[in-house]
Amino acid sequence: MMDGAGREGIVVARGLTKRFGDFEAVHGIDFSIERGESFGFLGPNGAGKTSTMRMISAVSQPTSGSLSVFGLDPRDDGPEIRARLGVVPQEDTLELELTVRLNLEMFGRYFDLPRRVLRERADELLAFSQLSERADDKVDNLSGGMKRRLTIARALINRPDLLILDEPTTGLDPQARHLLWERLYRLKREGVTLIITTHYMDEAEQLCDRLVVMDRGAIVAEGTPRQLIADHSTREVVELRFGTDAHEQFERDLARFAQRIEILPDRILLYVDDGDETLREVHASGITPASALVRRSSLEDVFLRLTGRTLVD
């Protein structure tokens, strides 16, 4: 299947829909992912990211619409597609009764790989995920970060062309996250296409060439991280605190300084192009905040603008 620009996408979806009974988790989304790209799905909980991942992984069947993975249809060619995929699920699904090494080797058997090949690959992957010393330990005894690394190593046992990671770093400490990111860069350099869902915006900015923001089952924005910031936010943000809860009273006075103003319980955000200049103007007008911070707009600002600040679940 061709994408909009006439290129052959590794994953192409048109009007892709998933319904569970009366609930429509994904409604009619379109996207196209190119070979070698790292593509992000962002969105709050319940946005339909995981449902979309499961359809791409040829595990769950689309209710309607078209989907092509490696040019194949997951409805008919599930096993062929899954043979070329690596999947890192949101929650670890390791074999708790088996050792670290056997988790890799047994998993490789599901892909019909010969034992000799698997022994070599397991060695490589243990080194890759810095688990060589724990090879003969039961998985149950590993730390959360180690389990996560093993889950990723396991997803690589069949040398996949496409690696799907559903919230790969949720629950990890910063060291473990950075190690994982570094490993994912390496894979990307080797030409593996990555699909990542996350709700860490810094992760998306770090890892994704291109991403879509999903909200309530639909795609609400699409582009490179930089492009999304340009399209949906200003260059900089001024954060003002006044040491009082009555922020509303400042709204009228401050609104004229900014392209957009947002009043939060603890601070006021001014979306502007030049933060320092705006701050000078604010001071010049006689308004003196208790504290002020000028920062660049981030993907997080875009995310909150597009999907709202209220909790979904």
Q: How far is the CB of 205 from other proteins (least distance, A)?
A: 27
| Single residue of 154, 177, 183, 267 touching other proteins by CB under 8 A | 154
Is the Cβ of residue 138 or residue 235 nearer to other proteins in the bound state?
138
The string over 210-245, giving b where at least 16 C-beta atoms fall within 10 Å of a residue's C-beta and e elsewhere, is: bbbbbbbbbbbbebebeebbeebbbebbbbbebeee
| Single residue of 1, 72, 106, 218 touching other proteins by CB under 8 A | 106
Q: How far is the CB of 97 from other proteins (least distance, A)?
A: 5
Is the Cβ of residue 83 or residue 294 nearer to other proteins in the bound state?
83
Q: How far is the CB of 143 from other proteins (least distance, A)?
A: 17
Q: How far is the CB of 278 from other proteins (least distance, A)?
A: 50
> Binding to other proteins (CB under 8 A): which residues in 56-95?
57, 59-61, 78-80, 82-83, 85, 87, 89, 91, 93-95
Output the six-digit token pair for 256.
């004229």
Is the Cβ of residue 117 or residue 264 nearer to other proteins in the bound state?
117
> Binding to other proteins (CB under 8 A): which residues in 199-238?
none
| Single residue of 1, 28, 72, 98 touching other proteins by CB under 8 A | 98
Tell me, by CB under 8 A, how many residues bind other proteins.
Answer: 32
What are φ and ψ of residue 246, in 5° steps? -85, 65
Binding span for other proteins by CB under 8 A among 108-116, 124-132, 215-223, 282-290:
108-116
Per-residue binder mask for other proteins (CB under 8 A), 111-150, x = binder: xx--------------------------------------
Q: How far is the CB of 276 from other proteins (least distance, A)?
A: 50
Q: Does residue 102 touch other proteins according to CB under 8 A? A: yes
Q: Residues in the site for other proteins, rule: CB under 8 A? A: 20, 54, 57, 59-61, 78-80, 82-83, 85, 87, 89, 91, 93-99, 102, 106-107, 109-112, 154-155, 158
